[in-house]
């Protein structure tokens, strides 16, 4: 595929990100009408020829998740029927990723269902960022490029030049991610041991590692209700942490998230623009947004040119 064959489209989930990606790629954002009928049914129409082109659709499945997902599926189906040569679903935030297994009896594996829907709709490959669970890549019978926001977050943390730094994993499951960042920052690692009595609730138990008098950075792939994050920040401050910062890829920020963040011991939260912030979150002095548009654009460019994507993230 030559770069001249590249076509870039977006739904309504995160148009600002799509426009930034288009700018970095040096291509215009494709013309498409993506809306809904009066009863809420999604309606899609592409207003330019895509026959034989290498098409990328940027559409995170963030809130309202079902609407954004349906927009993505309808766009993929329309492109397939319009004879696009190759269709890549660019899903910076892959919704339903937390439902990647049967945690209890008689529950669905919805992440697999969404993968099947995207496949059936007509995608030839998927480009996503910081999947909640790496094994979701195996739910697709097509190539999946799972890229990482770590270079963007790492660059900002290096620029801040924090001294006496310790990287915090908010749970045992996030140790691999936190350890990788700690290695690149030449920092120590600590782990928060917690129990989760029910969904979206967390109770911090104790901290494994030394945090007294240290600048702490909590690393995670997403922040939803911020209950875990706020409790972790408060626990770290109680253990004598000098400052507490969070570095998170996906700012889901649902429910009482902003109330939890504003009332916690968290000093700053770095997030990326995979998901657009609500007006309340955008107005918060504690939240700073870093764009992943240049990184995403480079990944798209490499897919288009059949170059290596993994080499963007050296060991």
CA end-to-end span of the chain? 28
Residue 194 a catalytic site member: yes
Question: Beta 32-36 vs 86-91: how paired, if at all?
Answer: unpaired
3-state secondary structure of 272: strand
Residue by residue, what is the 3-state secondary structure of 160-205? HCCCCEEEEECCHHHHHHHHHHHHHHCCEEEEEEEECCCCCCCEEE
CB 130 within 8 A of CB 250: yes
3-state secondary structure of 246: strand
Rg over CA atoms, the chain: 20
CB 147 within 8 A of CB 127: yes
Residue appearing with tokens 């950075």: 217
CA distance 59 to 56: 10
309's tokens:
């994507």
Give the number of C-alpha atoms closer than 13 A to the C-alpha of residue 71, restricted to the C-beta side. Answer: 28
DSSP β-bridge partners for residue 51: none
Total residues found in the chain within this entry: 315
CA distance 75 to 265: 43
CB 166 within 8 A of CB 210: yes
CA distance 232 to 171: 10
Of the listed 80, 194, 242, 286, which one is catalytic?
A: 194
Nearest to 261 by CA among 246, 276, 250, 277: 246
- Residues marked as catalytic: 194
């Amino acid at each position: 595929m030559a770069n001249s064959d590249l076509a870039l489209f977006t739904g309504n989930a995160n148009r600002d990100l799509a426009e930034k990606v288009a700018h970095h790629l040096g291509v215009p954002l494709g013309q498409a009408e993506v809306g809904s009928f009066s009863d809420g049914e999604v309606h899609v129409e592409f207003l330019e020829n895509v026959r034989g082109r290498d098409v990328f659709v940027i559409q995170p499945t963030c809130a309202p998740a079902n609407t954004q997902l349906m927009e993505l599926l309808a766009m993929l189906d329309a492109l397939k029927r319009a004879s696009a040569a190759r269709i890549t679903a660019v899903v910076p935030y892959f919704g339903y990723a937390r439902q990647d297994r049967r945690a209890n009896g008689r529950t669905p594996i919805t992440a697999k269902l969404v993968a099947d829907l995207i496949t059936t709709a007509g995608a030839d490959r998927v480009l996503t960022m910081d999947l909640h669970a790496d094994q979701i890549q195996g739910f697709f019978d097509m190539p999946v490029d799972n890229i990482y926001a770590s270079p963007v977050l790492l660059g900002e943390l290096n620029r801040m030049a924090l001294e006496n730094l310790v990287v915090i994993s908010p749970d045992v499951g996030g140790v691999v991610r936190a350890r990788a960042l700690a290695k690149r920052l030449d920092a120590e690692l600590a782990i928060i041991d917690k129990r989760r009595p029910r969904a979206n609730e967390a109770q911090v138990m104790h901290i494994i590692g030394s945090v007294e008098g240290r600048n702490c950075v909590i690393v995670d792939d997403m922040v939803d209700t911020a209950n875990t994050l706020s409790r972790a920040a408060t626990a770290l401050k109680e253990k004598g942490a000098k400052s507490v910062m969070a570095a998170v890829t996906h700012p889901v920020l649902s429910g009482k998230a902003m109330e939890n963040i504003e009332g916690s011991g968290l000093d700053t939260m770095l997030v990326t623009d995979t998901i657009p912030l609500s007006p309340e979150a955008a107005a918060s002095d504690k939240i700073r947004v870093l764009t992943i548009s240049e990184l995403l654009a480079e990944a798209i460019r490499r897919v288009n040119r059949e170059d290596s994507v993994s080499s963007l993230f050296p060991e």
